[in-house]
Amino acid sequence: MLAIRLPEEIEKRLDALAKATGRTKTFYARQAILEHLDDLEDLYLAEQRLIEVRAGKRGTQDLDSVVRELGLED
């Protein structure tokens, strides 16, 4: 179970959409979360990796070595 507080403007928009389509606000909130969760996870992972690289805890690879490693050379 998840309860969230939304700004009044967003709540009104969500309510209007639900009424106009005959679906629930929960349906649209769930859809929004499902569609954007992958992006949020990717962003968090990238931010964590950048922190680790800047702290010297993780190295980097140049594009040429990645291409060779994956066998993608022309």
pTM value is 0.62
pLDDT in tens, 44-60: 999 999 999 999 999 99
> Does residue 22 sit within a domain?
yes
> Does residue 53 sit within a domain?
yes
Count up the domains in the chain and report the number: 1
Is the pLDDT at 1 greater than 80, yes or no? Answer: yes
pLDDT in tens, 10-43: 999 999 999 999 999 999 999 999 999 999 999 9
Cβ atoms 26, 37 nearer than 8 A = no
> Does residue 41 sit within a domain?
yes
> Does residue 3 sit within a domain?
no
Confidence (pLDDT) at 74: 77
Task: Give the C-alpha separation, 62 to 58, whole Å.
Answer: 14
Alpha-carbon separation of residue 49 from 11, 31, 53 (angstroms): 35, 28, 6
Domain that holds residue 53: 8-69
